[in-house]
Amino acid sequence: MCDNHSRHSVDTRQRQAIDRTIHRHDFRPDALIETLHTAQETLGYLDRDTLAYIAEKLKIPPARVFGVATFYNHFRLKPKGNHTLAVCTGTACHVKGNDQILAWLGEQYHLRPGETTPDNHLSLVEVRCVGACALAPVIVSDGELIGKKNFDEAIRLIKEWIGDAT
């Protein structure tokens, strides 16, 4: 059965959810992705101890667990910010300037795709295509799709979301 005295510091609620998922799949290593989903649902992200705990329970190398967790965009290794800004980098959005928005965020706020501001206010996500090419360039703020904004308009909106009045 499940060992509740793991050497990893995974909280009890998360450990129980992980153990239930693994048990439901008879401890098979092919339950890894579902187990990662379960773990992330309870904590909001996948920390190092959680990944190690899953590797131990499924009896697979930690590098494999880490590899799967970092391969899929859905999984996060750090807490998500209070707000999420997704910048589409599909062909239409790239041609219409979204690469400039990403560069500006990097220069102005030292924020790169996959990162969150130090105050956990904003997470930046790069999306290959949101499927709204006719509205390019497209950014998505907390699920709200905003399109057809020029660089200056987009930057003004982003500053409002970040709380930067300059």
Could you tell me which residues are annotated as the binding site? 88, 93, 129, 133
Task: Give the whole-angstrom CA distance, residue 147 versus residue 87.
Answer: 11
- Element containing residue 24 per DSSP (H, E): helix 12-24
C-alpha distances in angstroms, 119 versus 42, 87, 122, 142, 162?
22, 20, 8, 17, 11
- Annotated binding residues for [2Fe-2S] cluster: 88, 93, 129, 133
Look at residues 3, 15, 8, 11 and name the one whose alpha carbon lies nearest to residue 52: 8
Q: Are the CB atoms for 13 and 42 separated by under 8 Å?
A: yes
